[in-house]
Structure 1
Amino acid sequence: MRIEPAAKRGYHHGELKEALIVAADSILREDGIEGFSLRAAARRAGVSPAAPAHHFGNAAGLLTEVAILAHNQLGEYLAAAPRGETPQARLRSLSRAYVEFALDEPGRFRLMFRKDLVNREDPRFFDSGVRAFTPFIETAAQAYGGDLATISLERDAGSVLAAWSTAHGIAHLALEDKFAFDKRGANSSIFLSELLPEILAAQWPDPVGAR
């Protein structure tokens, strides 16, 4: 079916911006970052090649909108993670959710951390990232002995960054199929159900005596 140009389809300003964001997001999901261009997004949305630059300024402007969606979705994954009976169990649960998000949404996941493709100075990008990562930051601080009521990212930076680096590293290695040497890492569902729990339990075991 032929996609009509925007003028024929009757896009309003807000609708056109949303259509371009959806188009860019779908390209990332289907073709990855390598398949994205402003021209490709315009073609998929059925608008003129100049439309994305007119509404977003440049590629980073459009991709930042997709990255904000990615932050929001990651936040939903983390919010839905089981709480666990100890901070360590909660951190394992959040890390699993982090990895699941990466495997479910590789295009969005990779985009979120590409400083060359997003505008990190956009306050909405920053705010969406803070909202998404706050549960992980709080739990990591608790797992390493921090106090939720007096948490300080500066004070707890080492433990928080170590925890995030672990979860992120696992996610990236899984995306690149680096666990294929283990038969349980050759399939994402088996990896998530068997190998990943072992990795996380080795990193964050429950304290002795914990239920």
Structure 2
Amino acid sequence: MSEKRGYHHGELRKALITATDDILRENGIEGFSLRDAARRAGVSPGAPAHHFGSASGLLTEVAILGYEELARYLGDAVDDGTPAGRMRALAAAYVAFALDHPGRFRLMFRKDLVNRTNPVYEETSKRALWPFAEAIAGVNGTTLETLLEARNLAPIFAAWSTAHGIAYLALEDKMHFALQGNYDEDFRKRLLPEILKAQWA
């Protein structure tokens, strides 16, 4: 496939985003290059820069897809109807997203690779994480409006840091000594629920 074979503008953008996503999934962020993305999309090496301006522009588009997918994971979280149960369900969904999409997950938080001032990125990332803020308000017995005041942001960052830290430890196999048998299955079904219950009983 080549540019001469008829990519429309939108189709070429989509093909390059898909190629980049594939690279991240297969090789991680360290294995990404604009040249490889172009090769996989079947276009000239200069096409990514032409359409996205830079590697950061292309990677930002993939990060936006990551936040959209994270929002779906959090939206599908099933809880027991209690504030603590809601937090556990969201945190478990957050960790599951990281384990299922490690390349996207690592990219989404890389300030050196993603343009955080991109308005779509800003809006999508805030919207994706909104359920956390709502759940944390419930756990703390307050309203979301009160919690979002600058002087009350600590509970949000504390809870988010917990879920994020668990996700990174799991991705880096830092909990292997506590797992048995099928590591991934044992972590998701046994250890992760125990960790989350210890945090939000």
Normalising by the smaller structure, the TM-score range is: over 0.9
Report the alpha carbon displacement of residue 116 of structure 1 after superposing the two structures with TM: 0.5
Runs of 4+ in 1 over 6 A off after TM superposition: none
Match of 2:173 in 1: 177
Match of 1:204 in 2: 200
Q: Is the 8 A contact 1:141 1:156 kept in 2?
A: no
- Equivalents in 2 of 1:44, 1:153: separation in Å? 46
- 1:89-108 correspondence to structure 2 within 5 Å: 89-108=85-104
Q: Is residue 162 from structure 1 mapped to residue 153 from structure 2 by the alignment?
A: no
Q: Is the 8 A contact 1:92 1:204 kept in 2?
A: yes
Q: Alignment RMSD, CA only? A: 1.4
Report the alpha carbon displacement of residue 186 of structure 1 after superposing the two structures with TM: 6.4
Q: Is residue 71 from structure 1 mapped to residue 67 from structure 2 by the alignment?
A: yes
Match of 1:122 in 2: 118
| Residues 29-38 or 135-144, more deviating | 135-144
Residues 63-106 of structure 1, C-alpha deviations (whole Å, 9 max, x = no match):
00000000000000000001322111100000000000000000
Report which of the two has the higher share of helix.
2
Q: Residues 61 and 47 from structure 1, CA distance in 2 versus in 1: closer, same or farther, beyond 3 angstroms?
A: same
Q: Is residue 109 from structure 1 mapped to residue 105 from structure 2 by the alignment?
A: yes
Q: Is the 8 A contact 1:6 1:46 kept in 2?
A: yes
Match of 2:3 in 1: 6
Q: Residues 185 and 91 from structure 1, CA distance in 2 versus in 1: closer, same or farther, beyond 3 angstroms?
A: farther
One-letter amino acid of the counterpart of residue 6, structure 1: E
Q: Is the 8 A contact 2:25 2:102 kept in 1?
A: yes
SS for the counterpart of 2:177 is coil
Residues 148-190 of structure 1, C-alpha deviations (whole Å, 9 max, x = no match):
4644252431111000000000000000000001124961111
Q: Is the 8 A contact 1:21 1:62 kept in 2?
A: yes
Runs of 5+ in structure 2 lacking a partner? none
- Equivalents in 2 of 1:153, 1:195: separation in Å? 34
One-letter amino acid of the counterpart of residue 86, structure 1: T
Q: Is the 8 A contact 1:28 1:108 kept in 2?
A: yes
| Residues 96-105 or 78-87, more deviating | 78-87
Residue-pair matches, total = 201
Q: Residues 79 and 194 from structure 1, CA distance in 2 versus in 1: closer, same or farther, beyond 3 angstroms?
A: same
Report the alpha carbon displacement of residue 6 of structure 1 after superposing the two structures with TM: 1.7
Q: Is the 8 A contact 1:146 1:156 kept in 2?
A: no
Q: Is the 8 A contact 1:81 1:93 kept in 2?
A: yes
One-letter amino acid of the counterpart of residue 5, structure 1: S
One-letter amino acid of the counterpart of residue 109, structure 2: F
SS for the counterpart of 2:156 is helix
